[in-house]
Amino acid sequence: PLPGFGDPAARVYILGLAPAAHGGNRTGRVFTGDRSADWLYGSLHRTGFANQPTSLHPGDGLRLDGAFVAAAVRCAPPANRPLPSERDNCLPYAEEELALLDGVSAIVCLGGFAWDAAARLLGLRPRPRFGHGAEHALPDGRMLVGCYHPSQQNTFTGRLTEEMIDAVFARARELALGP
């Protein structure tokens, strides 16, 4: 299983879908070496969470400040379509990460699948509705924040723009660190 990556003192936990076969699965670091990584780390750099805008391979010098990136499913799923059973089998990894990252105050979910995984992980009933920019206050004071996944399907069609993803991470920064 591919572990999460980032700052052990993170205030923002970013949950994606699953390692891409030609991205994290190939490189050994989540959201690394593919176009989704370009979008994610580009935004994290522009909003002050990353020291550089790219994530090419594990030795590229990328450092996150205040953020930790993980995936709901920890192994590359067949045809890039994870099953709910794979999500459920991998939830203990995210649960353990969140327990270790005890300073997290915002959880950004990249896509509906990650949002549903986080809702299940956090025991939210009824499950809050996902949407880009959606926010749901958790009983413990943390905030769940929705963002369209930076997949090629979303970025090539304009469903997700740089301005949109930057707005989500600027909001996460505000939630985590204050205005």
Q: State the CATH number of the domain containing residue 105.
A: 3.40.470.10
178 — pLDDT class (breaks 50, 70, 90): confident
**Dist. CA 45–CA 19, nearest whole Å:** 21
The answer to whether residues 124 and 30 touch, using CB atoms and an 8 Å cutoff, is no
Written as one string, the DSSP assignment of 55-97 is --STTS---BSSEEEEESS-SPPGGG---HHHHHHHHHHHHHH
How many CB atoms within 10 Å of residue 135? 15
- Judged against a pLDDT cut of 80, whether residue 23 lies above it is answered with no
Mean pLDDT of all residues belonging to the chain:
93
Can you list the pairs that 55-60 forms with residues at least 24 positions away whose Cβ atoms lie under 8 Å?
55/29, 55/31, 56/27, 56/32, 57/27, 57/29, 57/32, 57/33, 58/27, 58/28, 58/29, 58/32
Domain containing residue 24: 5-177
Task: Domain count for the chain, please give it.
Answer: 1
**Dist. CA 33–CA 49, nearest whole Å:** 18
Q: CA separation (Å) from 52 to 48, 61, 99?
A: 9, 8, 27
Q: CA separation (Å) from 81 to 5, 22, 84, 101?
A: 22, 14, 10, 28
- Judged against a pLDDT cut of 80, whether residue 160 lies above it is answered with yes
pLDDT at residue number 1: 80
Of all residues in the chain, the percent with pLDDT exceeding 90 is 76
User: Most confidently modeled of 20-24, 25-29, 44-48?
Assistant: 44-48
Tens of pLDDT, residues 54-106: 999 999 999 999 999 999 988 877 777 888 888 888 899 999 999 999 999 99
- pTM of the full predicted structure? 0.94
Of residues 1 and 136, more confidence is placed in 136
